[in-house]
Homo-oligomer: A and B are copies of this chain.
Amino acid sequence: MEQLDLNDIGLRARQAGRQLGLLKTGVRNAVLLRLADALEAPNPALLAANEADLADARQSGLAPALLDRLALTPKRIHGMAEGCHDVAALPDPLGQSFDARTLPNGLRLAKRRVPLGVLAVIFESRPNVTAEIGSLCIKTGNAVILRGGKESLRTNTVLVGLIRDALQAHGAPADAVQLITDTDRALVAQLLGMDDIIDLVIPRGGPGLQAMVREYARMPVIYGGIGVCHLYVDASADVAKSVEIVYNAKTQAPSVCNALDTILVHRAALDAFLPRAAARLTASGVTLYCDAPSLALLRAKPSLDQTLIALATAEHYGHEFLSLALSVKVVDGLDEAIAHIARYGTGHSDGILTNDYANANAFLDQVDSAAVYVNASTRFTDGGQFGLGAEVAISTQRMHARGPLGLVELTTYKWIVQGDWHVRP
């Protein structure tokens, strides 16, 4: 394989991004619709590439769950095309003007939304991420350098070809979307050092990838997707409704970042709430890791499947389960619950279940997570659910944007200053 010149890729991305961001909304949307058509059209090359990736992955013993994520089914291909349609239909953030003001001296100021610049997105095996990120970047006028997992290289190469063809067909610069086709891991470290060219890195992957980015990245990074989520069941909570919310937050999609990990139960609510919640959860196969008082209570209920109830150890708190399991802790009140969340949470999504007005407000004031809830499931933390349309990631960092990142969060602004030959006195 020939040596990749990452610097050249970066410079071409910068140039292409500059052009893309200046194209009218209609042109960027037309590219997205053409890409949707190209994805829906029969494409033997795409299917063959994906089949070859899958064959290699099977041979190298990739886990079944990862094989599944790698496979491009007709349904997934249709989903990618639909995603392009959805993004095209969203309002264009570019050019939006806000915070406009006229100063006492007559100088007119406004902020105007512009693209962030050149993004680098490092992701793991799912090839639909390629189409998703590609379409979001086309919409927001950002250039992107993609670095997918080696398992999906052939599939991604064909997909990026489709994106580039769609750009070119409308006179837009193909180099706005580029794929690094060399799977040498050293290139990632090199990419993370290119802070003169790359404006933002988005790592979409597990803790290993995030640690590497933390080590090497010299430019801004949007981390996200790791959520240790808590629900605090207050003394005044409606028991039946709380059981439904806890059940929903844990089981509706257990492997995602906004799924529930820990229930904190007020001592006064324990007897009424926990056995009912445990019955509902264990009936769906959820394992409960309980502290001593909650364990004692549940052990005394012979109707519960005791094999799904265990004593919690230190590692069950502050742990993202991503599976049908959660931890339970009894607390003496609101303050202890808030302190637990401050210590063990990841600042993703945490909530209170209560009918007490003052406690609801105190929880909202004092818990500092990207999304803080009263009487709702943590599963709502999602760009689609929040009404933002598309979503790039869910940020758990504090700068630039928190929570679901939609199109607007992929932009920045510049100050537009219009004078009448003003000089500063």
Q: Is A2 an interface residue (CB 8 A)?
A: no
Q: Could you tell me if A371 and B214 are in contact, using CB atoms closer than 8 angstroms? A: no
> Which residues of the partner chain B approach A116 to less than 8 Å between Cβ atoms?
398-399
Asked if A285 is an interface residue, CB under 8 A from chain B, the answer is no
Q: Give per-residue flags for A76-111: 1 if the beta carbon is below 8 A from chain B beta carbons, else 0.
A: 000000000000000000000000010100010100
Check if A422 is an interface residue, CB within 8 A of chain B: yes
User: Which of A101, A370, A421 gathers the greatest number of chain B CB atoms within 10 Å?
Assistant: A421
Interface stretch of the complex, out of A51-59, A160-168, A269-277, A373-381 = A373-381
A199-B399 CB under 8 A given contacts A103-B387, A416-B364: yes
* Chain A interface main SS type: mixed
Within 8 Å of chain B (Cβ to Cβ): is A170? no
Is A144 part of the binding interface, using a Cβ–Cβ cutoff of 8 Å? Answer: no
Beta-carbon contacts of A313-333 to B below 8 Å, as 1s and 0s? 000000000000000000000
Nearest B residue (CB) for A15: B342
User: Do the beta carbons of A374 and B101 come within 8 Å of each other?
Assistant: no
Asked if A241 lies at the interface with its beta carbon under 8 angstroms from chain B, I say yes
Across the interface, do B373 and A423 meet the contact criterion of CB distance under 8 Å? no
Cα A374 to Cα B403 in complex, Å, equals 37
Q: How far is the CA of A22 from the CA of B200 in the complex (A)?
A: 32
Cβ < 8 Å to B, chain A residues 378-394 = 379-381, 385-387
Do B418 and A374 touch (CB < 8 A)? yes
Q: Which of B247, B371, B424 contacts A385 (CB 8 A)?
A: B424
A415 close to B (CB within 8 Å): yes
At the interface, yes or no: A419 with Cβ under 8 Å from chain B?
yes
Cβ contact of A109, chosen from B218, B364, B386, B397, cutoff 8 A: B386
A415 CB contact (under 8 Å) in B112, B238, B353, B403: B403
Residues from chain B with a CB closer than 8 A to the CB of A369 are: 414
Is there an interface contact between A399 and B402, defined as CB atoms closer than 8 Å? no
Is A134 in contact with chain B by the CB < 8 A criterion?
A: no
Q: Which residues of B contact A103 (CB under 8 A)?
A: 385-387
A365 at interface, CB cutoff 8 A: yes
CB of B421 within 8 A of CB of A101, answer: no
Nearest-CB distance from A363 to chain B (Å)? Answer: 10
Task: State how many angstroms separate the Cβ of A58 from the closest Cβ of chain B.
Answer: 35
CA distance A368 to B22 in the complex (A): 11
User: Would you give the shortest CB distance from A28 to chain B, in whole angstroms?
Assistant: 15
Roughly how many angstroms separate A372 CA and B368 CA in the complex, as a whole number?
Answer: 36
A356 at the interface (CB under 8 A from B): no
Tell me if B424 and A199 are in contact (CB < 8 A).
Answer: no
**B424:A248 contact, CB within 8 angstroms:** yes
A127 CB to closest chain B CB, in angstroms? 27
A365 (CB) vs chain B CBs: closest residue = B22
Shortest beta-carbon distance from A380 to chain B in Å:
6
Least CB separation from A241: chain B residue: B421
Instruction: With A375-B419, A399-B412 given, name 13 new contacts (CB 8 A).
Output: A18-B342, A116-B398, A116-B399, A199-B399, A245-B423, A371-B417, A373-B417, A375-B420, A375-B422, A377-B422, A381-B415, A399-B400, A402-B415
Query: Considering the complex of A and B, which 4 residue pairs feature the smallest CB-CB distances, nearest first?
Result: A376-B419, A248-B423, A241-B421, A376-B422
Task: Return 21 A-B CB contacts under 8 Å, by A number.
Answer: A101-B387, A109-B387, A116-B399, A117-B398, A200-B398, A214-B218, A245-B422, A245-B423, A248-B424, A369-B414, A370-B414, A370-B415, A375-B418, A376-B418, A377-B419, A380-B422, A380-B424, A398-B412, A399-B412, A402-B415, A403-B415
Could you list which residues of chain A lie within 8 angstroms of chain B, going by C-beta atoms? 18, 22, 101, 103, 107, 109, 112, 114, 116-117, 195, 199-200, 214-215, 218, 220, 238, 241-242, 244-245, 247-249, 252, 342, 351, 353, 360, 364-366, 368-377, 379-381, 385-387, 397-400, 402-403, 412-424
